């Protein structure tokens, strides 16, 4: 919700005028091996309408071809060229740090090794080989031994590139630790910080825009701190779908750098006309927000619901609009807990 209008009715659908959809994967298209509800059908329909669909992911554990194969197995018509990965962005960054053909210690899986090899770098897993750089990405089998090798190598003054710093990963069984936890372990040992290629840093977004020659892209994500923050930093419109990591509680508390242009239940919402958001300031310390038939008022530090709350998605949009258009800090506000507890986008 970057722009708030003072008229009533509906705005165009978020997809109108978009030439490229940049979709995150984990939590947007799938959770583990299983598809997110309505994701495959929606993305196929947008592609059939002539909108290019690209996939932009921080996941460094698989090759672009293996990701494309997974998506095809789910029913999407996807090729490796449609996948833009954080290892690809990491390799681009690495070229600026070391000479061609340099020896790189890898912490991570096949996706990272594949991209480094294709770029002409040599790969090692041992600090004893005196590598010229360390590149670190997530893989499910990364353990203490690999983290220790990275720490030993980084005792020397060599570049360290991390594919991403996602703290968590949404899987079919629940939320699991992500690459950020592994990077943090090495950081604790070496007291250094890596260069970061993936979201929310801009190199991955810039690579995607260049790859797809995008003129008016939209980023679809499930995380505020990576997908949405990164898109805003790259000047790309964004939509948060409530199918992954972040939900109503995180949206309400989102910082200005992490606020999406659109809040959607799932990928079907890209096609639906978006309700106009009306924000007024009738008195000092009072912010009123109306979305559809839902109405929220932030009076001082109290958020109050002035409507029946039959459309919980519009109620969430109205609550966010009221809070985001105030100068109040989220921890100082009193917010009705039912806005985010046991939230069901379909109710």
Q: Which residues are catalytic?
A: 24, 26
Coil/strand/helix, residue 305:
strand
C-alpha 342/C-alpha 80 separation (Å) is: 38
Please say whether the beta carbons of 178 and 187 come within 8 A. no
Burial class of residue 325, CB neighbours in 10 A (0-12, 13-18, 19+): middle
How many other C-beta atoms lie within 10 A of the C-beta of residue 213? 9
Residue 79: name the closest of 221, 212, 234, 241 by CA.
Answer: 212
Across 86-241, the runs of DSSP E, i.e. the strands, are: 103-107, 122-124, 133-136, 160-162, 168-171, 174-177, 195-196, 217-221, 237-241
Give the single-character DSSP code of 13.
Answer: P
Terminal Cα-to-Cα distance of the chain (whole angstroms): 22
Residue 247: name the closest of 342, 135, 172 by CA.
Answer: 342
Which two structure tokens, joined as six digits, stand for 143? 């353990």
**ω before 340 within 30° of 0 (cis)?**
no
C-alpha 294/C-alpha 145 separation (Å) is: 54
């Amino acid at each position: 919700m970057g722009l708030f209008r003072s008229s009533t009715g509906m705005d165009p659908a978020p997809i109108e005028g978009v030439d490229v959809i940049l979709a995150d994967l984990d939590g947007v298209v799938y959770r583990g091996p299983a598809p997110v509800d309505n994701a495959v059908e929606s993305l196929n329909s947008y592609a059939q309408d002539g909108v290019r669909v690209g996939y932009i992911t921080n996941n460094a554990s698989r090759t672009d071809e293996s990701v494309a194969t997974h998506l095809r197995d789910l029913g999407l018509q996807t090729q490796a060229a449609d996948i833009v990965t954080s290892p690809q962005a990491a390799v681009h960054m690495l070229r600026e740090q070391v000479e061609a053909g340099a020896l790189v210690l890898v912490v991570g899986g096949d996706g990272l090794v594949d991209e480094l090899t294709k770029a002409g770098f040599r790969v090692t897993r041992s600090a004893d080989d005196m590598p010229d750089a360390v590149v670190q990405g997530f893989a499910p089998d990364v353990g203490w031994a690999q983290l220790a090798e990275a720490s030993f190598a980084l005792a020397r003054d060599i570049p360290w590139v991390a594919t991403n710093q996602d703290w968590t990963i949404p899987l079919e069984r629940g939320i699991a630790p992500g690459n950020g936890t592994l990077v943090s372990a090495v950081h604790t040992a070496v007291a250094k910080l890596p260069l970061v290629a993936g979201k929310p840093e801009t190199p991955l977004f810039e690579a995607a825009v260049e790859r797809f020659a995008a003129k008016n892209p939209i980023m679809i994500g499930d995380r505020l701190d990576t997908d949405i923050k990164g898109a805003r930093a790259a000047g790309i419109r964004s939509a948060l779908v409530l199918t992954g990591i972040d939900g109503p509680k995180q949206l309400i508390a989102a910082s200005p750098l992490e606020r999406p242009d659109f809040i959607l239940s799932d990928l079907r919402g890209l096609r639906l006309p978006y309700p106009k958001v009306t924000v007024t300031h009738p008195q000092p310390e009072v912010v009123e927000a109306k979305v559809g038939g839902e109405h929220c008022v932030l009076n001082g530090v109290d958020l109050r619901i002035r409507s029946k709350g039959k459309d919980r998605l519009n109620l969430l949009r109205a609550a966010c609009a009221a809070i985001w258009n105030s100068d109040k800090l989220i921890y100082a506000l009193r917010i009705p807990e039912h806005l985010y507890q046991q939230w069901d986008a379909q109710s």
